[in-house]
């Protein structure tokens, strides 16, 4: 995934203080809203310190195929909605 797209989506999650869900080739994980501010994006990878510094996750930008900003809504019908960007490979 392009660095500029990753930066845009991470910035959106930071501004909205939302969770960020990341899918890559091997795994799916959620970066909690408080940890989104700790995301570092380089030319090759995304790095985030999670769980109060107990875990550091590195994800190659080229292996990310979907990023989703998880938005919380009040109400009982839905726990939250998601908006994001995914790419497909042919």
The answer to whether residue 36 sits within a structural domain is yes
CATH number reported for the structural domain that contains residue 10 in this entry: 2.30.30.100
- Is the full-model pTM beyond 0.85? no
pLDDT digits (tens, 9 = 90+) for 12-27: 999 999 999 999 988 9
The closest alpha carbon to 70, from 56, 55, 62, 82, belongs to 82
Q: Residue 46 sits in which domain range?
A: 3-68
Q: Is the dihedral of CA 35, 59, 87, 22 positive or negative?
A: negative
pLDDT digits (tens, 9 = 90+) for 28-40: 989 998 899 999 9
Give the span between the Cα atoms of 65 and 23, in whole angstroms.
6
The answer to whether residue 7 sits within a structural domain is yes
Query: Are the C-beta atoms of 31 and 50 separated by less than 8 Å?
Result: yes
Q: Is the dihedral of CA 80, 56, 43, 41 positive or negative?
A: positive
């Amino acid at each position: 995934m392009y660095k500029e797209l990753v930066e845009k989506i991470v910035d959106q999650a930071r501004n909205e203080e939302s969770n960020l869900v990341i899918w890559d080739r091997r795994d799916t994980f959620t970066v909690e809203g408080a940890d989104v501010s700790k995301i570092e994006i380089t030319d090759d990878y995304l790095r985030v310190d999670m769980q109060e510094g107990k875990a550091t996750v590195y994800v190659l930008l080229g292996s990310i195929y979907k990023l989703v900003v998880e938005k919380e809504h009040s109400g009982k019908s839905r726990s939250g909605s998601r908006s994001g960007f995914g790419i497909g490979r042919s």
